[in-house]
Amino acid sequence: MMTGKIYTATGDKGMTSLVGGKRVKKNCVRIEAYGTVDELNSFLGQLAVEMTADYPELTEYLRTVQSKMFNIGGYLATEAPDDKPTACNGLSQADIDHIESLIDELDAELPPLRCFILPGSGRLSALANVCRAVTRRCERRVLDLAETAHVDSSLIVFLNRLSDFLFILARYFDLKEENEEVAWNPNC
């Protein structure tokens, strides 16, 4: 349990510490990457709260994903010694296989996608799409980091699958809640 004051004033001049103590600017690419993971985790938490009553199994899976997001954040907040490749703790091919099977399972229930659809057909669908969009931004920030430091490739694959899962989840919510998907009008 944490004790003491939450504020330390050590970041008042725009600097923060990585795991291991190295001081860096709060807007450096590594902080942007794991900060966006934190933001995504917060939105996933909101989605989990909103869907708990009606979708307990999917909520349980989202809680697992949130724990993985903490692992990912810790991984990204830690510089590898001498930039030697390291694996992200708690993330494996089995996790990627599992999310792919969930995507396939949910997608099998959905009508074929015949046009682009707009986010926001229903409350849960809209929130899942916010999570999807933040996941894509998270993926971009991690790719920015990967240009200058080693990043476990399974992490990048997992984020890509997570955004696919959230897109399918949004459509699944619309189906289950009988919301009509809103088609994009290219002629507006």
| Confidence at residue 29, expressed as pLDDT on a 0 to 100 scale | 85
**Rg (the chain; Cα; Å):** 18
Q: pLDDT band for position 107 (50/70/90)?
A: very high
**Following CA atoms 129, 130, 135, 141 in sequence, which dihedral angle do they give, to the nearest 10 degrees?**
140
- Could you report the per-residue pLDDT of 46-95, keeping only the tens digit for each? 999 999 899 999 999 999 999 999 999 999 988 877 667 888 999 999 99
Question: Model's pTM, two decimal places?
Answer: 0.88
H runs (alpha helix) in the chain: 29-51, 56-76, 93-107, 123-146, 153-176
pLDDT at 98 over 60: yes
Q: Report all structural domains of the chain as residue ranges with CATH numbers, in order of start.
A: 25-75+98-106+114-183 (1.20.1200.10)
Contact assessment for residue 33 and residue 139, using Cβ atoms and an 8 Å cutoff: no
Residue 27, amino acid: N
pLDDT, averaged across the chain = 89
